[in-house]
Amino acid sequence: YSGIRSGELCALAWEDVDFENKTIHIRRSTYDMRGLKTTKTDKERFVDLLPPALDALKAQQYLTYSFDPKEYDVELPGQAYRKESLRFVFNPKVVREQKVSGYDYYGKRALGRMWTALCKKGGVRYRNQYQLRHTYASWMITHANVNVSYLAQQMGHADITMVARVYGKWLVESNKKESERVWQELEKVRNQ
């Protein structure tokens, strides 16, 4: 219900969550070698949260919000770093104490293992967890008739080109609905 990348989800901290404005501030991601870096596009963004995402975060708050913040180095472009004091929304120490590492956030590999286990347990045919991002985008286009520029911003794309290329088939369906909606609005003006 947010369209964020899996690495961005792993790196999400309570310092990024704004319940009042119903947004999350996406400003970092994880990478395979277990570290934090800027987002894929090296740009920060605010993502509006739908009610199910807000509810999930509120439930998660009981599990991880009270952890003490720790200092982390976040890799920036050009091999520079910034220090951030963070409490991660999804902290593996809630489930078990880490035997080998002291990480307070999940990596993408761990997320993938959990996702695979959940699919199996739920009897769902396996699909990469990245498919959730595609589901979000296709739902926004086909069912919510969302503005493509807004969707690109929410998902962290530089512009609408990527959205048009990847989700073009859903855009065609959405255009038919949009045409009907436009005519209904024009009819209101015409009949005044």
The domain segmentation of the chain, as residue ranges, is 1-125, 130-192
* E strand or H helix at 30: strand 29-31
Q: What is the pTM of this model?
A: 0.84
Q: What is the structure's pLDDT at 83?
A: 96
Can you give the pLDDT at residue 101? 57
Q: List all residues 6 or more positions away from 30 whose beta carbon is below 8 Å from its beta carbon.
A: 7, 10, 11, 36, 37, 105, 106, 107, 108
C-beta separation of 65 from 41 below 8 A = no
Phi, psi of 89, rounded to the nearest 5 degrees: -65, -40
Helices 148-155, 160-190: crossing angle, 10 deg rounding: 150
Bridge partners (DSSP) listed for residue 70: 86
Report, as ranges of residue numbers, the positions in the chain whose pLDDT lies below 50. Answer: none
Indicate the class that CATH gives domain 1-125. mainly alpha
Burial class (CB in 10 A: 0-12, 13-18, 19+), 119: middle
Cα–Cα distance for residue pair 133/1, rounded to 1 Å: 9
